[in-house]
A and B are shown apart, each in its own frame.
Chain A
């Protein structure tokens, strides 16, 4: 028998639920075994125990629409599921919801070399799209550590960012058009892949980053771009946190960077301890910057050397390396990209905050002061896409502290952190989304009036609060 609680208010028995879902997608595309419920009921957050009532795998947009209509009729809450790599519990089903998993909608089609676009089912894996682009001498630039698992539908619903935002922007900038199923089961074809289309409200933008609360993305036409040439990576040792941004502006004064990342020595030591990537250099500094740029001509390389020398003269940088091959570039990137996965072992409490780039230095100082004062006994791991104003602040759980107590203590200090975010007019969630973990803090970034309008918009597209209820905002 189905255990309903929280948001899923259906009176259907589980057998009836499975039978009706099977009528839509076929019996082999509905799963209720314990393994599937556990796997598809959660994302990378390890806070909420998964408890979905069934997992359904539609293969077409029409099937998704039918599922949504059925859910409305029977008052069944739905949770969308992509690669489940989210860090804000946006794809967690902890209240007996039905999970709609897009794994079988993974077709890439309609590649158009002139428009440089390609159509992707919501379940296409990011890396699959990246590889497809590469095979056609093009490039899909949105990239992040979980690209091997995350899906396009999830990327769009969370407006995924990552490591190349400074040069190529967020997922939002690459969606030419998309098909969504609204909370009422309507199928909308948005923007028709047009470059120019000033015909009123661009409803794409509501669904991008909407975390599946208004509707589910089922298909999207993604833009591709030219392949960057000879991406070259520098890793620089920077003793003072304050100087990281000075290094950024020094390099940006004459160069277009494709990435500017920073990480603390503590973060790097965790990655190095795994023993599969070498240290960049022997000199140890408290912070490191990873800079990536296109070295098309010798002049580009010379510019990088000139800026490096300048940073050395100023004393901001004390050592550095530059990749001499793609293998080295990839290994240097791993120093930064492996951090998240490496520290997941310590059940980190994650903050993903941002401010405009010019405010980063004083913002960093204020945050640093708070965490050093409030978390003296916790290990703090700093890293982030600092070139676009985005910081990841991770607090590691000490072994001897229970998970509940740890998160409770972190939650308290989060309020302090978010007050600083508010003071600098920043965001409490730069790229991870709101989901459940950041929902209580939305007001630090969004005004009461804005949140009221968000609720009103939710009501328009999802009047029965079927779509991913309890995430982002309370209906």
Chain B
């Protein structure tokens, strides 16, 4: 066996140029795969983190059925007991109750359908970036009349100024319509066009009062340290909340369309890479077949000298393995370097391109990741491709008859 390995190693350097080209092809494919996967997955993760921090929370507590039909009737009391359960969960780094309600708002001749979002400002500050997005004015305060923050675009559409009072019409918890004045204390800009056009933020107590909700809330948004904690945190929290008839949803269950747009993009990327791997497989097939047929005479003589055919096949297999391994290692190394560089120097878009990204709710930024599974998956898929590609040449070697080999030209 040792001899075989030594022979194989020497054999691949007998035709230096061909081997180097094969190694380079493999290395290039691996590098490209690692780099594009890194770019894709890294960008997804940044986007997910940002969207999750801004809107849904990593996890969300809801009453069953709220996700499909979000009405005030599916709200639930935000009790001390619930808070103590949340406080005792180890993986949860913070949580904030929220109330969502549809409203019709009006200022002078302009009226729009909007969504009111009641937030606990102190808690929200710890788990989300909502309040960091204030552009003008100041935060609304609880108990000082109905103070609200509205989207920059909504303010413009209403043709109102900070300090103006607008009329808000809602249907309360009891079904009655309620109308009241709310004073604009500031504006925010989240970057998402829809959000900035339709959302109004206000202290949760103000909104609960407006709707006659008492201590009920629509959802509780929960933050975790990282996305990897998602499943274990969900499991343990769900166990604690099942007796209270509450559901725990992950961010992708709360925002299925966001998840889907990511998945769609991801599938596109994977398809591209699959094609790349197939091309590489043909490259390997080509060089291996060439090197094998070229050496039929040599193989014939070795066989005639009494070398078992099985060993000859193993020898060729080792040669392929060496080439592919060197290629994969080099590719992973180079790809890793590219990813490392991008992580430290993220690609930021500006201008029109950035605007398109924002419209779809994505950050105008691309970054990468060094997650181990990218390297492992790439290595395994290239190995698999190499295995399939070498089956035919190896079969030819296995079927070779010594005399035919010697006379082969």
Q: Do the two chains bind?
A: no
